[in-house]
Chains A and B, each alone.
Chain A
Amino acid sequence: MNRLRGQTEAVLASVCFGLAPLFAKKGLLSGLNPLYGATIANATALLFMILFFLAAGQHKGWTSATKQGVMFAVLSGLCNSVALVSYYWAMAIGKVAIVVPVTCIYPLFTMVVAYLAMKESEVIDVFTVIGTLLIVIGVILTI
């Protein structure tokens, strides 16, 4: 049951990630600088997240957060931020046709790192490798 919930959430996340560029495209058609658009999008998400935390009383959960948990969450945020800035940088100096497909190979890095560093919780079998490879190749062809 938990497995099905996890898979459903991952698929729904993909739908949300796939829907967002449509709105961004609508906004960018006005000729707006993409950096302004990205800032508005990030600020909106942050605002809604704070409101949600306060409304749902989730802020009380901060007391149960461990130092290690917070440290890994900060590291995750740092990686995302560096990725975002690097992406814009690469777009500015490189060709889009090369930059975009290269950024799409990140599931392969995750698979290798998970295999090396998270052996106790990650099951990397032949199906995982074939499935991930097919997705990466398919996504690169679609772009």
Chain B
Amino acid sequence: MALVFLIGIGGVQEFSGFLDIPLLIRFYFMLAGFFNYLLGRALYYSSFRFIGVTQSIAISSTYPIISVAFAVTVLGEKVSVLQFVGIGLTLSGVYILLMKGRK
């Protein structure tokens, strides 16, 4: 459905623009689609069967932290003090949810 919307929006713009995109750039977006919309979503929906929707959505919504970790290690980007505080709070929240109900 999202694809139909996007193609609709793309139609308003220049549709032939797709043909001009270099192969390597297309490959990057194909990888992004594979990890995000296919593998990520499959795991995300699968987790609903075993833990609550609230817990699953809260845990999977921590992806910006993962992005920051990859951006620092792969792209060499810098992390601010505020971001460190944010990462600490997020990880604390995940820890509480993972430990919830365990003895």
Do these two chains interact? yes
Q: Which of B38, B49, B89 is in CB contact (< 8 Å) with A49?
A: B38
Give Cα A88–Cα B94 distance, bound, in whole angstroms: 29
B25 — which chain A residues lie within 8 A by C-beta?
27, 30, 32
Q: Which of A3, A22, A133 is in CB contact (< 8 Å) with B67?
A: A22
The bracket for how many chain B residues form the interface is 35 or more
Within 8 A of B (CB), among A20-64: 20-27, 30, 32-33, 35-46, 48-49
Within 8 A of A (CB), among B42-93: 43-44, 46-71, 74-75, 82-83, 85-93
Q: Main SS of chain A's interface residues?
A: helix
Take A85-B5, A140-B86 as given contacts and tell me if A16 and B46 are in contact as well, using a CB distance cutoff of 8 Å.
no
A14 — which chain B residues lie within 8 A by C-beta?
59-63, 65-66
Query: Residues on A close to B: CB < 8 A?
Result: 2-3, 5-7, 9-27, 30, 32-33, 35-46, 48-49, 77-78, 80-81, 84-85, 88, 104, 106-107, 110-111, 114, 118, 121-125, 127-128, 130-143
Which are the 8 A-B pairs with shortest beta-carbon distances?
Answer: A18-B66, A6-B50, A141-B86, A138-B90, A134-B93, A41-B33, A138-B89, A16-B40
Enumerate 10 A-B pairs (CB-CB under 8 Å) in ascending A order.
A3-B51, A9-B44, A18-B66, A22-B74, A33-B13, A35-B13, A127-B100, A127-B101, A139-B65, A141-B89
Query: Residues on B close to A: CB < 8 A?
Result: 1-7, 9-10, 13, 17-18, 21-22, 25-26, 28-41, 43-44, 46-71, 74-75, 82-83, 85-98, 100-101
